[in-house]
A and B are shown apart, each in its own frame.
Chain A
Amino acid sequence: DARVTQTPRHKVTEMGQEVTMRCQPILGHNTVFWYRQTMMQGLELLAYFRNRAPLDDSGMPKDRFSAEMPDATLATLKIQPSEPRDSAVYFCASARTGSDTEAFFGQGTRLTVV
Chain B
Amino acid sequence: KQEVTQIPAALSVPEGENLVLNCSFTDSAIYNLQWFRQDPGKGLTSLLLIQSSQREQTSGRLNASLDKSSGRSTLYIAASQPGDSATYLCAVNLLGRGAQKLVFGQGTRLTINP
Contacts and interface: CB of A to CB of B under 8 A. Distances in A.
Interface of A: 31, 33, 35, 42-43, 45, 48, 50, 55-56, 91, 93, 95, 97, 99-108
B34 A99 contact: no
Contacts of A55: 97-99
Q: Is the interface of A mostly helix, strand, loop or mixed?
A: strand
Interface string B24-68: 000000011010100000111110010111000000000000000
Given A107-B42, A107-B43, A102 B99 contact: no
A101 B93 CA distance: 10
A1 to B, nearest CB: 14
A95 B95 CA distance: 14
Q: Is the interface of B mostly helix, strand, loop or mixed?
A: strand
A93 B93 CA distance: 13
A108 B93 CA distance: 20
Contacts of B43: 91, 105-108
B100 A95 contact: yes
Contact of B100 (A31, A43, A108): A31
A73 to B, nearest CB: 19
A108 B49 CA distance: 21
B42 A43 contact: no
B46 A104 contact: yes
A38 to B, nearest CB: 11
